[in-house]
Chain A
Amino acid sequence: MKKLIVSLAVSAILLLVFQSFVFKTAPAPDIPADVNEILKTSCYGCHTQESSSKKAKIALNFDKWDDYKDTKKISKLDAICEVISKDKMPPEKYLKDSPEKALSDDQKVAVCSWTDKEATKLMGGN
């Protein structure tokens, strides 16, 4: 009986560890599914580790999110809302070839309310 409990506990732990490896692809900040979908379509192409644009990766890399200091996270969250609100991102040149990656007004609101919520949380508010 004891053996069974121990082995169950051990496999549960292994499963948890395993999961955290397998599901690593979802980037680190607490991103709701709809926002994640928008970012995946319009932003991850340039702003994740696999991106070929070094400049974009230096400016913002979602795969490195966990390594960012909280102050940098706040700064980047606010920058994300700012650049999409001012139509600076995705870059105009890129949208010429893929106009479907432009964000609609609703999508901008969804992303900005997420960035605002996260930044407020990091600031210690609710």
Chain B
Amino acid sequence: MRKAVKIAGLILAGAFFIAQFIQPDKNLQEQASEHDLVSTLEVPDQLANLLKNSCYDCHSNHTRYPWYSKISPLSWYLYKHIEEGKEALNFSEFGLLEKRKMISGLSGVCELIESGSMPLVSFTLIHRDARLDEDEQRIICEWSEAEAGKLLKSGPGS
């Protein structure tokens, strides 16, 4: 019995060790994109910092990887979120969207922050500093609603 446990433990440890060599691609575009949200809309510095700290890890072409995020299988879990997050909304390529998509994206930002769906809870559990307090939520919401309204007022053009 004790031997069986020992062997199982060894196999698990071995699998964990080997898994460290199988890692997903990294999301690490270095230069800032000219189509980034901050170059497309009016984004006050405080706001840009909030978004970069709480959202850009999954919604841009540049993720910050703390040490634990490099451990497989955690790295794969994060990878999947980055893929899906970028597909839903990529702040690095915000400027390439049609106006209508920009409005939808901004409207979604406030809605999902208010409902507590974003940032993902599984992310803020380990990334404590990505959590948004109520004031920060309100600041982002007011900004994104105002920007969406401005875009809408500026007419139907692309």
Contact = CB atoms under 8 A, between A and B. Distances in A.
Interface of A: 58, 69-72, 74-75, 78-79, 119-120, 122-125
A47 to B, nearest CB: 15
Contacts of A125: 156
A74 B111 contact: no
Which of B103, B115, B152, B156 neighbours the largest number of chain A CB atoms within 10 Å of its CB? Answer: B103
B35 to A, nearest CB: 20
Interface residues of B, number: 17
A69 B144 CA distance: 13
Contact of A71 (B101, B149, B155): B149
B118 to A, nearest CB: 13
Contacts of A123: 99-100, 103, 152, 155-156
B156 A124 contact: yes
A120 B108 CA distance: 18
B82 interface: no
B103 A71 contact: yes
A68 B46 CA distance: 28
19 contacts: A70-B152, A71-B106, A71-B148, A71-B152, A72-B107, A72-B111, A74-B103, A74-B107, A75-B107, A75-B108, A75-B111, A78-B101, A119-B100, A120-B156, A123-B99, A123-B152, A123-B155, A123-B156, A124-B152
Contacts, number: 42
Given A58-B115, A124-B155, A78 B100 contact: yes
B152 A74 contact: yes
Contacts of A58: 115
Interface string B89-110: 0000000000111011011100
Contacts of B156: 120, 123-125
Contact of A79 (B104, B115, B149): B104
A121 B118 CA distance: 30
Contacts of B106: 71
A69 B108 contact: no
B127 to A, nearest CB: 24
B145 A69 contact: yes
Contacts of B115: 58
B99, B106, B148: which has the most chain A beta carbons within 10 Å?
A: B148
Contacts of A78: 100-101, 104
Nearest to B155: A124
Given A71-B103, A75-B107, A124-B155, 14 more contacts: A58-B115, A70-B152, A71-B106, A74-B100, A74-B103, A75-B103, A75-B104, A75-B108, A78-B100, A120-B156, A123-B100, A123-B152, A123-B155, A123-B156
A78 B148 CA distance: 15
